[in-house]
A = this chain, B = another copy of it.
Amino acid sequence: MAKKEILVVGSAALDTVEAPAGKVDDILGGSSFYFSTAASLLAPVRIVAVTGSDFPKEKIEFLKSRDVDLEGLETAEGETFRWGGRYYEDPNKRDTLFTRLGVFEQFQPKIPNHFKSTPLVFLGNIHPALQSQVLDQIDNPELVVMDTMNFWINGTPDELREVLKRVDVIMINDEEATDLTGKTDLLAAVDQIYTFGPKNIVIKKGQHGAMLFRENGEMFSLPAFPVRKVVDPTGAGDTFAGGFMGYLASHPLEDKMTWRHAVLMGSVLGGFVVEDFSMEKTKVLTQQDIDTRIEQYKELVAF
């Protein structure tokens, strides 16, 4: 089938990462770029984000060859959003060393006219009021997927609830599901999230895999593909989202297996991206790499 376009609205950042594998400065980061690099392996992508006047544009040159439309990538006077973090031998531990919002602090997503009819929309992890502003500018999207985090769940609950009413899929981790609902039991949390609006819930569990819940009661659980050497866990969630939506964009949404295969594709790409810093791995992935990993995945879970 024809590939549908995907609109992503999120952050554009330069990251400084310290990890057991080394230290890297000002590498490409941010949810919109992690997402796009993954999703564009599978479908056309349109980015809405903001960088500062200091942003080295050559870092995203590779996106142009991948059918990524950068018309919504605004350049504002000032510094690009910068994030610094440190990882340890245990990749589940992370310290944020610094956050300098720069031009991201005043980000007001402006959707270019020819983006307004994009069928699939991914609302990256930004202020829920901005997520709502994005939806106000979009004409009848076929499917809206949102990400969020504890900072918004606890800090801006009312705005978050407004967005939740308008999305088809929420994609969060298990801790965030508990924060959002007050329920430590995942199934109880899922039941409550349905009442907030989303009919589909994706729970990302990092090294423990991912689960999909649908309002008809369907559950799908997929373990993570074991990664021998995690170099840089940054962006795994956005890469997962990119793989998930890229798959949805090129397969019939009414088919139950489409949704499960989308979780698989998210897990495959999320498993690849952590094998190197920034998007180094997902930048160079081939269809052959993906196909091979899917075969290995099938072998991993077969019984």
Give me the interface of A with B, judged by CB distance under 8 Å. 89-91, 184-188, 205, 207-209, 211, 219-224, 226-230, 257, 260-261, 263-264, 300-303
Contact = CB atoms under 8 A, between A and B. Distances in A.
A264 B300 contact: no
A186 B226 contact: yes
Nearest to A93: B184
A232 to B, nearest CB: 14
A301 B221 contact: yes
Contact of A223 (B89, B221, B260): B221
Contact of A228 (B187, B221, B264): B187
Contacts of A227: 187
Contacts of A228: 185, 187-188
A59 to B, nearest CB: 30
Contacts of A209: 208-209, 221, 223
Among A223, A230, A264, residue most surrounded by chain B Cβ atoms (within 10 Å): A223
A162 to B, nearest CB: 28
B257 A303 contact: yes
A300 B221 contact: yes
B208 A301 contact: no
A224 B186 CA distance: 12
A301 B260 CA distance: 9
A90 B228 CA distance: 30
Contact of A303 (B89, B205, B219, B264): B264
Contacts of A221: 209, 223-224, 226, 300-301
